[in-house]
């Protein structure tokens, strides 16, 4: 049985990468830390590595409950330490009396440095404070290159992880049933709207799965997916619990509070 059949066709390259990571750890007995992964990628890594006896995996994103996390794939006997994840926390100093910084601006400026999204973790905003996590291997480069966000001149301070601002993403968990994992079906169940309305949102390009706009009503959702529909906020599929007596799928979903 092919491992690929459990996942989406477009995830094949990532699955190959995870298999290579697993083989590397098995053959070298050296732990491997990945880039920051989104929740769906985390789910894939856990699914593939989780069945192994000699190789283990744990996740950490710089703080409890981080959305984007680095995976540490390691030999069974390895003692995991937070240092293994090689995560830096930066605080942005900027003229907050005159400028308001928002998440898209911060992410856009980070991406303009020419680094992959996987080199950055969560971006945290609380009142006039802005922090973000980054991979340690690019921290010096970020410190040298990032001097503005939007039109604001900024400077960076590296902070201990213990000084992270207290921004926890809270999810209100509920259980629901769906006839299938089609995107239109799942969306209508989560937000209690008609299937016709959910199809309209999807067809108009107002729905994203894992930060990618999906315009296919029949797109199949899976565990770990983050769904966002304009005007409804974000939701995630926490787990798929199996079928009911009426042959419907029971899913546990979280809606961001």
- CATH at 70: 3.30.1370.160
If you average pLDDT over every residue of the chain, what do you get? 92
Last residue of a domain, one of 119, 146, 163: 163
Residue 123: beta bridge partners?
Answer: 132
Are 203 and 142 found together in one domain?
no
Non-local (6+) Cβ contacts of 107 within 8 A are 120, 123
Residue 169, exposed/middle/buried by CB under 10 A (0-12, 13-18, 19+)? Answer: middle
- Residue 120: domain span: 87-163
Interval 104-139: pLDDT, tens: 899 999 999 999 999 999 999 988 899 999 999 999
CA–CA gap between residue 200 and residue 209 (Å, rounded): 16
Are 132 and 71 found together in one domain?
no
pLDDT, position 127: 87
Above pLDDT 70, what percent of the chain?
98
Residue 64, exposed/middle/buried by CB under 10 A (0-12, 13-18, 19+)? Answer: exposed
Contact 106, 130 (CB under 8 A): yes
Cα–Cα separations (whole angstroms), residue 70 to 146, 172, 213, 254: 22, 24, 24, 22
Cα–Cα separations (whole angstroms), residue 66 to 8, 37, 107, 132, 170: 25, 11, 16, 11, 11
Interval 168-190: pLDDT, tens: 677 889 999 999 999 999 999 99
CATH number at residue 93: 3.30.70.330
The alpha carbon of 56 is separated from its chain's Cα centroid by a whole number of angstroms, namely 20
- Confidence tier at 147 by pLDDT (50, 70, 90): very high
Last residue of a domain, one of 83, 111, 138: 83
| Whole-prediction pTM | 0.82
pLDDT, position 168: 65
Are 76 and 91 found together in one domain?
no
Contact 21, 73 (CB under 8 A): yes
CATH number at residue 216: 3.10.290.10
DSSP for 52-104, written as a single string = -SSEEEEEE-SSTT-SSEEEEEEETT----GGGG-EEEEEEE--TTT----HH
Interval 227-240: pLDDT, tens: 999 888 889 999 99
pLDDT, position 35: 97
């Amino acid at each position: 049985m092919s491992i690929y059949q459990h996942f989406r066709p477009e995830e094949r390259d990532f699955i190959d990468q995870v298999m290579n990571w697993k083989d590397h750890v098995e053959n070298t007995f050296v732990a491997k830390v990945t880039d920051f992964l989104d929740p769906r990628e985390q789910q894939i890594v856990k699914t593939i590595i989780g069945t192994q006896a000699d190789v283990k995996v744990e996740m950490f994103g710089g703080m409890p409950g981080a959305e984007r996390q680095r995976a540490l794939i390691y030999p069974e006997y390895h003692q995991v330490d937070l240092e293994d994840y090689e995560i830096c926390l930066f605080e942005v100093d900027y003229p907050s009396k005159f400028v308001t910084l928002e998440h898209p601006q911060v992410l856009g400026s980070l991406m303009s440095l020419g680094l992959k999204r996987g080199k950055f973790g969560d971006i945290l905003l609380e009142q006039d404070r802005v922090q973000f996590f980054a991979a340690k291997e690019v921290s010096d480069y970020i410190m040298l290159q990032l001097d503005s966000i939007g039109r604001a001149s900024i400077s960076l301070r590296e902070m201990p992880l213990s000084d992270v601002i207290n921004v926890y993403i809270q999810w209100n968990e509920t259980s629901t049933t769906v006839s299938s994992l089609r995107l239109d079906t799942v969306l209508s169940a989560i937000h209690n709207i008609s299937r016709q309305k959910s199809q309209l949102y999807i067809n108009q390009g107002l729905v994203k799965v894992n930060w990618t706009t999906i315009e296919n009503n029949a797109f199949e959702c899976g565990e770990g997916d983050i769904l966002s529909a304009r005007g409804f906020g974000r939701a995630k599929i926490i787990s798929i619990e199996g079928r009911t007596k009426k042959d419907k799928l029971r899913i546990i979903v979280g809606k961001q509070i």
